[in-house]
Chains A and B, each alone.
Chain A
Amino acid sequence: MNLRINFSSGVPIYQQLMEQIKHAVDTGAIKGGEQLPTIRKIAEDLAMNPNTVARAYRELEREGFIEVRHGSGAYVGMPSTSSAKVAGIRKAAEVLRPAMERGLAIGLSESELRRVFEDELARLQENAAAARRRT
């Protein structure tokens, strides 16, 4: 599993870690039933805070995504929708590719394109969160 955390982003680190672990499962880098690295291993490899890793694992466990067995570590649950998710990711890539190509054709750099993407994503999340808070 190749974890890459952007520590200086405004997105909470435990959420980034959760997303990446889910992504690793979605793409098949880790399969259902397999063991995740220990909290200590991730903390040391990424030189990050073990409490933050523990928080990500706790949240993933609460969502039923992983199972924490005391003394032996955390295991990925058996996903039922994984192949559907993989298909969804492929579909999304098809939809996004032409848009990205156009962006590059306009003359945006890779980092500018990434910023646009992340800004839009943040905006969507923000709107969804605002809508949830209102109800």
Chain B
Amino acid sequence: MNEIIATNGLSKSYDGKPALIGLDLAVPRGSICGFLGRNGAGKTTTLKLLLGMLRRDAGTIRLFGEPVDSEASSIAVRQRTAFVSEDKELYPFMTVNQTIRFTRPFFPAWRRDLEEKYLDLFQLPKKKLVPQLSKGMRTQLMLLLAMARGAELLMMDEPTSGLDPSLTEEVLQALADLAASDGTTIFFSSHQLAEVEQLCDRVCLIDRGQAVIAGVLDDLKAEYRRILLVFDAEPPRELAGLPGVDHLRRRGRTASLLAHVDVDAVVERAREFGPCSVEVRPVTLKELFLDHVRGE
């Protein structure tokens, strides 16, 4: 069993409005996978379905190879999974220390060494009440509680939203270290492409409830190419129909093609339209994101 998260044809609607349409997701053990998509693309719905906080309409979900909603396996699956929600709710009447002491006994695999380490790293004031903490510190406390649980899978919904760049870097370092030392599988949604590029080896981009790109980030960077064409007149619309072209964007006399299979053949075909210049460039994650969620 190498896949820690695996969904097949996962679907969910709210009041007849589809939120997820047959989502296939695969996150292998030890991977850090970034889950990307516009607001309302279905990211939080997916996370809630994975955690059993929502009921799916169709499809299958397996965590650690076990179905999440069978009574026999659901407790075991939950013990091995930690989650940091987007709202980051904590009890307002507890101090940092009390919150940690309260949380600890719920989790048999709790790691005192990691608890100490992150307390120290994040420099959290133990005696302060939760409402007295800054937003960044509350986030770090949530992360500490999730990371010290000794879970094999850590899921997070926008973990670094609202953090300043230096706190973000600390959090990313802590996550990189957790993955390197414990082999923890990490799956998180984010709008910060830069942090996803930095930390993740895999990405999954969803749009309108469906996965549009998924895979190893470095492989995607190696496969995808932008082909820039300049014409004497308006570029032909037919370029979009060339086999292998994912997206076409035309602006003035230039056309920009995104391709990822048999790029050379696409370039050859494009040349037949008689462009006055052809340029092939690597593609950044930001470009992949924008091209796939916009289209022409």
> What residues make up the interface of A, taking CB atoms closer than 8 Å to B?
7-15, 39-40, 43-52, 55, 119, 122-123, 126, 130, 133-134
Contact = CB atoms under 8 A, between A and B. Distances in A.
A7 B197 contact: yes
Interface string B281-296: 1111111000000000
A55 to B, nearest CB: 7
A47 B279 contact: no
22 contacts: A7-B194, A7-B198, A8-B193, A8-B197, A8-B286, A9-B282, A10-B221, A13-B217, A14-B218, A39-B180, A46-B176, A47-B169, A48-B198, A49-B176, A49-B201, A50-B180, A51-B30, A51-B201, A119-B281, A126-B281, A133-B264, A134-B264
A119 to B, nearest CB: 8
Which of B169, B217, B219 has the most C-beta atoms of chain A within 10 angstroms of its own C-beta? Answer: B217
From DSSP, what is the main secondary structure of chain A's interface residues? Answer: helix
B180 A55 contact: no
B280 interface: yes
Nearest to A131: B264
Given A8-B284, A8-B286, A122-B282, A48 B221 contact: no
B222 interface: yes
A13 B286 CA distance: 15
Interface string B139-183: 000000000000000000000000000000100110111011100
Contact of B176 (A14, A44, A55, A133): A44
Interface in B240-296: 264, 267, 279-287
